[in-house]
Amino acid sequence: MSRTTSYPQTMPPTRPEISSDGPEPARTRWAQLATSADHKDIGRILVSVAFGSIFLAALELLLMRAQLAVPENVFLKGVTFDRLLSVYGETAIFLVALPLIIGLLYYVVPLQIGSRTTAIPRVGQTGLWLFIFGGILLYGSFLFTPPEAGINPLPPFSDATFNPNNGVDVWIGSTGLITLGLLMVAIDLLATLHNLRAPGMAWRRAPLFTWAGAIVTWLFVVIAPIFLAAISMLMIDRLYDGGFFAGDEGGSPILWQHLSYIFFTGVYMSVAITFLAAIGEIVQTFTGRELPRKAVTRSFVAIAIIGTLAWTQNMLTVPIPSGWKYFGMLMSLALIVPFGLIFYNLISTVSQSDFHMRAPLRFALGALSLASIGLAAEIAQSTIAVATQLSETYDAWAATHFTLIGFVLFGGFAAVTYWYPKMTGRQLNEDRAAKSFGLMFVGTIIALLPLFAAGVSGQVTDSYRYFSFEDLGVYNLIAGIGTLILFVGIVLAIGNLVASRSEEPAATPDPYRGDSLEWLALSPPPAHNFDVLPDVHSTRPMRDIREAVIRRDAETAAAEDAAPVSA
């Protein structure tokens, strides 16, 4: 904390009729949270659920890696492994990545645009509860049959003929509730973004994270209905012999692959956009420099459109017309341009400025490092000739995990540590954050780098065992050790988030001298966010306000000096 701020802890209310000190709430805190339609409460619940689920996903990954640590292991049964794999995939995508990005955006973006509320809060609240029931359904299924048809349950394997138990029904129900719920939250955010921006907050002045919010919610409004349609068809196939995905009844199993991969690719891109924007905010705040806004925001739009159009990159071994395969390859490789631009601008901005290394920036740079490995490795996965060799192996698994662990885990911790003072009103313990970062970073690299080699040596994913003659033991053993280190790091990092809430000193409203409007609100913000809605005149409204306060203080002091004090 070398850069302490001279900015006062609370703004003097200029309009006395609006006060942040209301009467004491009549209900207890949990009842208030459970019935709240406030975007901050909903956002915090979503982010908390995401961090709890990070622990669950890491535990499931650790169990799977323990099973694969040695060849012909008998630690887990095949069916148990398949269930862990399916639940892990759903947890990582639907209970970690999506609620984390939607929750963060839903919490921060209304504050950034200077809004006192969201446009249709009841829609957001309904969405939150649909999401929560989806999560309860998934983990409640451990009482009977969890899903066991893989991360992406391809029909006809996921049809009732080959998976007659309730596992796939649980998968459909829980992903459906979660997607529908988060879609409603996204729609609320989108309506807020288009209607409730503070005076003067034109799009050209909106912060990067707000831009990411607009792009990601629009993208989600496009891709989520596609996925909901697909799982509805799968449900009709399973329960009422629909035949949408039955090859011999006029349907096609390939249809499912198209629809589901459009959604999953869109989610991948949403994750990348959200966390690159969060990293952009962090870099801007800690270096005090602005990123080139036009280039970065246009790159986000390009990632959203081109990236989602690259869905056939996942289908290069499927019998689809080869034109689609070349199209997928072109779109995937075209992503080099926007990703390259953003990475260049982020890294060069950090490189050319003076700053103190703090936890959010540390996690942000770690995220860029890991995601760069994953995104570069995806180049090989995108070309038709190499994909016929390496897709469906641990090479593909490692590439995807480097990108998603980089963005979701490290980007997620970067964003949450950055906004931690705002969300909780407490500072974060920097020392513990740095240590857990070190463990997580080393663990991720040790857990994933050997898997590239395992994939090239031919280890296929989703299999609960391999045999000693395949010579894969070394890679998997090292990956298992790395996963253990990663798991310990994750536990410590989450523990730090929990422990700092009760141990650390209170945070000021603007601990980093940030430039966007969320730092104008108190920490944590009151229910109505702002006592005063400022007029926005530039891309850095908070700096304008700070300068105005300093100017006003100087004027007051000058006036006091001028007026002789009567004795």
Residue with smaller CB distance to another protein, 442 or 533: 442
Spell out the residues 6+ positions from residue 437 whose beta carbon is closer than 8 angstroms to its own. 359, 362, 363, 366, 413, 489, 493
Residue with smaller CB distance to another protein, 119 or 507: 507
Minimum CB distance to another protein, residue 86 (Å): 9
Q: Does 239 bind another protein (CB under 8 A)?
A: no
Q: Does 507 bind another protein (CB under 8 A)?
A: no
Minimum CB distance to another protein, residue 151 (Å): 9
Backbone angles phi, psi at 460, to 5 degrees: -85, 150
Q: Which residue of 66, 70, 301, 336 would you call a contact of another protein, by CB under 8 A?
A: 336
Q: Does 59 bind another protein (CB under 8 A)?
A: no
Question: Which SS3 state, helix, strand or coil, does residue 460 take?
Answer: strand
Tokens of 113: 């645009």
Helix (H) or strand (E) holding 559: helix 541-562
Residue with smaller CB distance to another protein, 228 or 379: 379
CA 436 – CA 327 distance, rounded (Å) = 42
Inter-residue contact 459 to 393 (CB < 8 Å): yes
Minimum CB distance to another protein, residue 508 (Å): 22
Question: Cα 193–275–358 angle (5° rounding)?
Answer: 115
Question: What's the one-letter identity of residue 213?
Answer: G
Q: Does 165 bind another protein (CB under 8 A)?
A: no
Options 177-185, 196-204, 337-345, 512-520: segment touching another protein (CB under 8 A): 337-345
Residue with smaller CB distance to another protein, 32 or 369: 369
Residue with smaller CB distance to another protein, 71 or 225: 71
Q: Which residue of 19, 35, 195, 353 would you call a contact of another protein, by CB under 8 A?
A: 353
Q: How many residues does the chain have?
A: 567
Task: Give CA separation, 302 vs 9, 216, 305, in Å.
Answer: 40, 12, 5
Residue with smaller CB distance to another protein, 12 or 250: 250
Neighbours of 79 (CB within 10 A): 13
Site for another protein in 305-324 (CB under 8 A): 317-319, 322
- The 522-561 contact track toward another protein, x by CB under 8 A, reads ----------------------------------------
Inter-residue contact 263 to 312 (CB < 8 Å): no
Question: What's the one-letter identity of residue 194?
Answer: H
Q: Does 357 bind another protein (CB under 8 A)?
A: yes
As a whole number of Å, the CA-based R_g of the chain is 25
Minimum CB distance to another protein, residue 51 (Å): 12
Site for another protein in 134-163 (CB under 8 A): 149-150, 154, 156-157, 161-162
Question: What's the one-letter identity of residue 182?
Answer: L
- The 11-30 contact track toward another protein, x by CB under 8 A, reads --------------------
Q: Does 232 bind another protein (CB under 8 A)?
A: no
Residue with smaller CB distance to another protein, 169 or 378: 378
Options 33-41, 209-217, 487-495, 514-522: segment touching another protein (CB under 8 A): 487-495
Minimum CB distance to another protein, residue 436 (Å): 8
CA 282 – CA 364 distance, rounded (Å) = 8
Residue with smaller CB distance to another protein, 191 or 386: 386
Torsion of CA 527, 220, 216, 195, to 10 degrees: -50
Q: Which residue of 194, 239, 292, 551 would you call a contact of another protein, by CB under 8 A?
A: 292
- Counting other chains too, the contacts that 332-338 makes at CB distance below 8 Å and 24 or more residues apart are 332/378, 332/379, 332/382, 333/379, 333/382, 333/383, 334/306, 334/310, 335/302, 335/303, 335/306, 335/307, 335/310, 335/375, 336/379, 337/299, 337/302, 338/298, 338/299, 338/300, 338/302, 338/303, 338/306
Q: Does 377 bind another protein (CB under 8 A)?
A: yes
Residue with smaller CB distance to another protein, 122 or 356: 356
Q: Does 288 bind another protein (CB under 8 A)?
A: no
Residue with smaller CB distance to another protein, 117 or 166: 166
Q: Does 269 bind another protein (CB under 8 A)?
A: no
Minimum CB distance to another protein, residue 227 (Å): 19
Question: Which SS3 state, helix, strand or coil, does residue 465 take?
Answer: coil
Whose structure tokens read 């887990």?
A: 76
Minimum CB distance to another protein, residue 466 (Å): 8
Tokens of 296: 């970065």
Q: Does 243 bind another protein (CB under 8 A)?
A: no
Site for another protein in 441-470 (CB under 8 A): 441-442, 445-446, 449-450, 452-453, 456-458, 460-466
Question: What percent of the chain is helix, strand and coil (3-state, nearest 5)?
Answer: 70, 0, 30
Q: Does 235 bind another protein (CB under 8 A)?
A: no
Inter-residue contact 281 to 208 (CB < 8 Å): yes
Count of residues near another protein by CB under 8 A: 104
Spell out the residues 6+ positions from residue 284 whose beta carbon is closer than 8 angstroms to its own. 208, 290, 291, 349, 515
CA 159 – CA 162 distance, rounded (Å) = 6
Give DSSP secondary structure letters for 151-203.
SS--TTTTSTTT--STHHHHHHHHHHHHHHHHHHHHHHHHHHHHH-PPTT--G
Options 59-67, 137-145, 274-282, 473-481: segment touching another protein (CB under 8 A): 473-481
Minimum CB distance to another protein, residue 15 (Å): 35
Site for another protein in 385-414 (CB under 8 A): 385-393
Site for another protein in 69-98 (CB under 8 A): 78-79, 82
Residue with smaller CB distance to another protein, 50 or 390: 390
Site for another protein in 415-444 (CB under 8 A): 432, 435, 438-439, 441-442
Spell out the residues 6+ positions from residue 117 whose beta carbon is closer than 8 angstroms to its own. 38, 39, 110, 192, 196, 528, 529
Residue with smaller CB distance to another protein, 7 or 402: 402
Spell out the residues 6+ positions from residue 371 whose beta carbon is closer than 8 angstroms to its own. 272, 402, 403, 406, 407, 410, 411
